[in-house]
Amino acid sequence: MFRHLSLLLLCLLPLLAPAATQAPAQLRIQGSNTIGAALAPALVKGLLEAQGAREIRIEAQATTNEVQVRALDQQGKSIRIDIAAHGSSTGFTALKNGQTDLAAASRPIKASELAELQPLGDLNSAAAEQIIGLDGVAVIVHPDNPLPQLSTAQLAQIFAGQITTWEGLGLGNGPIHLYARDDRSGTFEIFKALVLDGSGQTLAGSAKRFESGEQLAKEVLNDRQAIGFSSLASVHGAKVLAIADGDSRPMPPSPALVASEDYPLSRRLYLYLSPTQATPWARALVEFAQSAKGQTIVTANGFVGQQVHAIKIPPAEDMPQPYRTLVRNAQRLSVNFRFQEGSANLDSKALRDVQRVVDYLRQHNKLHQQVVLVGFGDAKHDSERAALLSRLRAMAVRRELIKEGVTLREVIGLGDELPVATNTAEEGRIRNRRVEVWVY
């Protein structure tokens, strides 16, 4: 009898196994390849370790750019987390269709997506829009290329196919080969918004397109005529160019310039979840990503974390006198406060940054009379109005810091001085509206 029972079980095993593998995942993440390729699996692994899970493994799936993270919890129960990294737009589509718990995006949600996802709640709210790190869209060329820098205007001409040879840039010879991310990519959306749209250009049809930033960088490394753009985390030995926007100085995507979002092609990395219907696993991951351990993982994966640091800024001839005094005697914190579009209200990142700055000030005993806020804005016909508006922005930050027990040394408004972006495009004007924090 036992022998017949054993034979029956052996016959049933092939039927039972697929059912086991079809158990629903505890967490599903879809969207950005920039986030999903390595950062999302690393954050999931970190969360599982923090929860005491064991036998954690990351398994590539049959479909390219998809992985599963598997583990056993403290009670020995199986955990499975699915990650699909096919581009930022796919994350919002999956969220709409109920096919994911978190949408990973390397660009902010669009107005059209926001409207479509309204049944899930306000995805622009601080609870839904979670900024987990910062990145720079790096413009890359072959390591042998002598080109040091480009302006965003030159970039637009190159990627629109108006400058087609290296002679057109005053060096070398031969055609320029264009490498770009695909249309579903948040990296492409950011490049399009910050470079092409500002000049009224569209991407040349000759550009080779890639779903994966890793693959794009590999192709650039093998092509001396190449120029491309990808995440700073997927450069892998290619030469990175400094970029200037309008009257700004040329800036490389250094950690400090990306952290302050002064680098012209800096961008935020997002996880979006429903503020009303999010699962406990989704909430746990976004909170872990915002924690000190999570931000360390962000940095370890080649991105820029949101930890606050003090930076000594070198002097420059174009600095106004009040700013020169700060440069000489104080240090700037590695965070800029920015505002909601068309509003004097702090944006979702700035609201979290208030607490990060307060924590830094408390740890370094600088809560009282050690902080200077410097407001900046976009150009106005009336320079006095520009200065007033920039000071009002700084005062908005002051109000938030006062709520946390900080007393300030000074609040300064410098109007449209020291722009970090062009004032001829709305994207640039928004980036110029910022508040810096300096500490003595």
Tens digits of residue pLDDT in 77-109: 999 999 999 999 999 999 999 999 999 999 999
Can you tell me whether residue 373 is helix, strand or coil?
strand
- The second-level CATH assignment, the architecture, of 22-131+269-300 is 3-Layer(aba) Sandwich (3.40)
pLDDT in tens, 222-266: 999 999 999 999 998 999 999 999 888 999 999 999 999 999 999
Check whether 159 has a pLDDT greater than 60: yes
Q: What is the pLDDT of residue 22?
A: 58
- Return the higher-pLDDT residue of 94 and 384: 94
What does the pLDDT average to over 206-215?
A: 96
Residues with Cβ < 8 Å from 409, sequence gap 6 or more?
A: 369, 370, 371, 372, 440
How is residue 124 annotated by DSSP? T
CA atoms in the 13 A half-sphere facing the CB of 329: 10
What does the pLDDT average to over 345-357?
A: 92
The structure tokens 């039927």 sit at 15
Check whether 176 has a pLDDT greater than 60: yes
- Separation CA 380–CA 372 (nearest Å): 24
pLDDT in tens, 292-333: 999 999 999 999 999 999 999 999 988 999 999 999 999 999
Looking at the chain, the domain(s) classified CATH 3.40.190.10 span 22-131+269-300, 135-259
- In this prediction, residue 173 has a pLDDT band, given cuts at 50, 70 and 90, of confident
Class of domain 135-259: alpha beta
CA atoms in the 13 A half-sphere facing the CB of 166: 16
Q: For residue 256, which amino acid is it?
A: A
Burial (CB < 10 A; 0-12, 13-18, 19+), residue 42, is middle
Residues with Cβ < 8 Å from 113, sequence gap 6 or more?
A: 89, 92, 96, 123
Check whether 344 has a pLDDT greater than 80: no
- Separation CA 128–CA 118 (nearest Å): 12
Mean pLDDT of the chain: 92
Long-range interactions of 349-354: CB distance < 8 A, separation 24+: 349/131, 349/268, 349/306, 350/397, 351/126, 351/400, 352/126, 352/131, 352/290, 352/306, 353/306, 353/308, 354/397, 354/400, 354/401, 354/404
Strands 27-31 and 78-84, sheet pairing: parallel
In sequence order, what DSSP letters do the residues of 40-81 get, joined into one string? HHHHHHHHHHHTT-EEEEEEE-SSTTEEEEEEE-TTS-EEEE
Residues with Cβ < 8 Å from 260, sequence gap 6 or more?
A: 332, 334, 335, 336, 436
Residues 306-319, buried b or exposed e (16+ Cβ, 10 A)?
Answer: bbbeeeebeeeeeb
pLDDT in tens, 34-67: 999 999 999 999 999 999 999 999 999 999 999 9
Catalogue the E-assigned strands of 87-241. 102-105, 129-141, 149-151, 177-181, 208-210, 226-231, 239-240
- Separation CA 55–CA 69 (nearest Å): 10
Check whether 7 has a pLDDT greater than 70: no
Q: What is the pLDDT of residue 3?
A: 47
Strands 102-105 and 27-31, sheet pairing: parallel
Domain 308-439, CATH 1.10.150.20 — does that match?
Answer: no
Q: What is the pLDDT of residue 201?
A: 95
What does the pLDDT average to over 383-389?
A: 90
- Separation CA 390–CA 387 (nearest Å): 5
Could you tell me the pTM of the whole model? Answer: 0.85
pLDDT in tens, 110-155: 999 999 999 999 999 989 999 999 999 999 999 999 999 999 999 9
- Separation CA 179–CA 214 (nearest Å): 12
The structure tokens 């413009």 sit at 139
- Return the higher-pLDDT residue of 171 and 354: 354
